[in-house]
Amino acid sequence: MSKKPFQFLEVARRMPREVPVSVRVLGSGEIYGDYQAGEAAEQAARCLDCGNPYCAHACPLHNLIPEWLKLVEEGRLFEALDLAHRTNPLPEICGRVCPQDRLCEGACTLEDTGFGAVTIGSVERFIVDEAWRQGWRPRRLVPEDAPSVAIVGAGPAGLACADVLARHGIAPVVFDRQEEIGGLLSFGIPPFKLDKAIVRRRREILEAMGVRFRLGVDIGRDLGLEALLEAHDAVFLALGAYRPVDGHLPGQALPGVLWALPFLVELDRRALGLPGKHELPSFAGARVVVLGGGDTAMDCVRSAVRLGAKQVRCVYRRQEPAMPGSRREVKNARDEGVEFLFERQPMAILGQERVEAVRFQRTRATGREATPALVPGSEEVLEADIVILAFGFRPSPPEWLQEHGIELLADGRVAVDPSSFRTSHPRVYAGGDMVRGADLVVRAVHDGREAARAIAASVNSRARAMMEALASP
């Protein structure tokens, strides 16, 4: 397919087919379909190749976006896949869950000119999905006698670390207490954003490369850190951030008040065909109020719609432009019937035997930071049958970290050398949300990738030193 100069003038930005709202809210499947090869090439050819790829600079992984767009345009799919994997161990996942509107696509030159950004995320997921359909399979990269590294946590940081270690010829062994890999990818992000079959397929890819998984193993209870250090050359910790931010609202212990993550995990367990761990109230015909404005809140409101709620409201204490969540997710939620109420601070959850309402007070942005301040005399009450608390998450470091001399910061995050992700223990590394605090999937992938590179350099350096010592007279 030969590229026409300034193709963006003739070809409009077009996302893959979107499932109609009236259909998609009846199920839990992904709401976007797939590009056909010609459609992906056409959209990729819209790239200006502007010489200063703002898209790549805005990507936390600094993906080689214009280069693999060009390969897709030319129909060189497997080469595009190799190039995508060079910087991103999880391209088909980031293509689905990244807030591209705030990152690569938001920085696209075409977005600034009003023609609409190149559909970078959709092409990225197409590369892996289509290559798999066409028969691409990875080859084993880890020799039988390779040094090994234990990875604690099979979320995005742990999976990225495993991928890069395998590409360096090091054997990763990934431990996780859950029955499936993925961390929040499997237990937290709803299937309408990320089909669980995609995560399972990535497990198949990693295992083919030489990664081993030991699931259902809780480090600290079933196996200690000292045992990992004895059996492996290094350890990478990717334990995530699962402690919810507590608003300490009066009445939050009432029946009908749910914490966001256990709610989403329970729905994902059902999607994965796993036994449930929490009983959920019936959403059929319910009035649901979700407190919070991030991507987790968007996952909750959109899930509530699919569970049959009569009315779903998302209440956020700041103005809409200050919402931390993806603009695309906010649009999707609005399309699905969610009502947004801004500049309202929750003050208390009301009810006798169970939740009946939430009391709010209006806020007003003040100062250069637009800090929300309460407006006197502006209280209002919203009736609710179910309230979901989605204020964010913080790390909850296990006690055994400090028992092994691993330094923590005051807020519970693990302290690391920013250049190597090495902790205060010389053979233990860490990355992802337990180091950053709750953040984007793509940034956890970045940390796993960079930590793996540092671990590989250290492990290979020690191996060379040992070989030289054995060879010396």
The domain that holds 61 is classified in CATH as 1.10.1060.10
458 and 365 in one domain?
no
With a cut of 70, which residues of the chain have pLDDT below it? 1-5, 463-473
347 and 262 in one domain?
yes
pTM: 0.94
User: Exposed/middle/buried for 304, CB within 10 Å: 0-12, 13-18, 19+?
Assistant: buried
- Of 100, 133, 166, the position where a domain reaches its end is 133
Specify the pLDDT at position 1: 44
429 and 327 in one domain?
no
- Of 371, 392, 413, the position where a domain reaches its end is 392
- Of 101, 133, 165, the position where a domain reaches its end is 133
Instruction: Pinpoint the alpha helices (H) of 390-440.
Output: 400-403, 433-436
359 and 313 in one domain?
yes
Choose among 147, 206, 166: nearest CA to 182.
Answer: 206
Residue 432 · residue 448 · CB < 8 Å: yes
Which CA distances in Å does 160 have to 39, 154, 164, 235, 428?
29, 9, 6, 14, 16
Domain containing 222 equals: 148-241+395-471
Residue 125 · residue 91 · CB < 8 Å: yes
In a domain, residue 139? The reply is no
In a domain, residue 142? The reply is no
In a domain, residue 70? The reply is yes
In a domain, residue 1? The reply is no
Locus of tokens 């001399």: 405
Specify the pLDDT at position 469: 56
Residue 259 · residue 243 · CB < 8 Å: no
Which run of H or E residues covers position 328? helix 327-335
222 and 256 in one domain?
no
Specify the pLDDT at position 8: 81
pLDDT digits over 219-274, tens only? 999 999 999 999 999 999 999 999 999 999 999 999 999 999 999 999 999 999 99
> Which of helix, strand or coil describes residue 184?
helix
CA gap 473, 470 in Å, rounded: 8
CA gap 384, 351 in Å, rounded: 10
CA gap 321, 422 in Å, rounded: 37
Specify the pLDDT at position 465: 58
Largest CA distance in the chain: 86
CA gap 273, 186 in Å, rounded: 12
Other Cβ atoms less than 10 A from the Cβ of 344: the count is: 23
CA gap 445, 431 in Å, rounded: 9
**What is the DSSP code string of 351-364?**
ESSSEEEEEEEEEE
Q: State the first-to-last Cα distance of the chain, in angstroms, to the nearest integer.
A: 63
107 and 26 in one domain?
yes
User: Exposed/middle/buried for 420, CB within 10 Å: 0-12, 13-18, 19+?
Assistant: middle
User: Exposed/middle/buried for 321, CB within 10 Å: 0-12, 13-18, 19+?
Assistant: exposed
Residue 317 · residue 362 · CB < 8 Å: no
In a domain, residue 141? The reply is no
36 and 74 in one domain?
yes
Specify the pLDDT at position 470: 55
75 and 31 in one domain?
yes
In a domain, residue 412? The reply is yes
Locus of tokens 């939050």: 252
In a domain, residue 276? The reply is yes
157 and 50 in one domain?
no
Give the number of domains in the chain.
3
Specify the pLDDT at position 81: 98
386 and 272 in one domain?
yes
256 and 235 in one domain?
no
**Cα angle: 384, vertex 389, 362; to 5 degrees:** 70
- 346 Cβ neighbours under 8 A, 6+ residues apart: 247, 249, 291, 315, 317, 358, 359, 360
In a domain, residue 92? The reply is yes
Task: Return the CATH number at 207.
Answer: 3.50.50.60
CA gap 80, 88 in Å, rounded: 12
Q: In the structure encoding, which two tokens stand for residue 306, read together? A: 């699919």
Instruction: Pinpoint the alpha helices (H) of 188-317.
Output: 196-209, 225-231, 260-271, 295-306
CA gap 14, 113 in Å, rounded: 16
374 and 406 in one domain?
no
Specify the pLDDT at position 471: 58
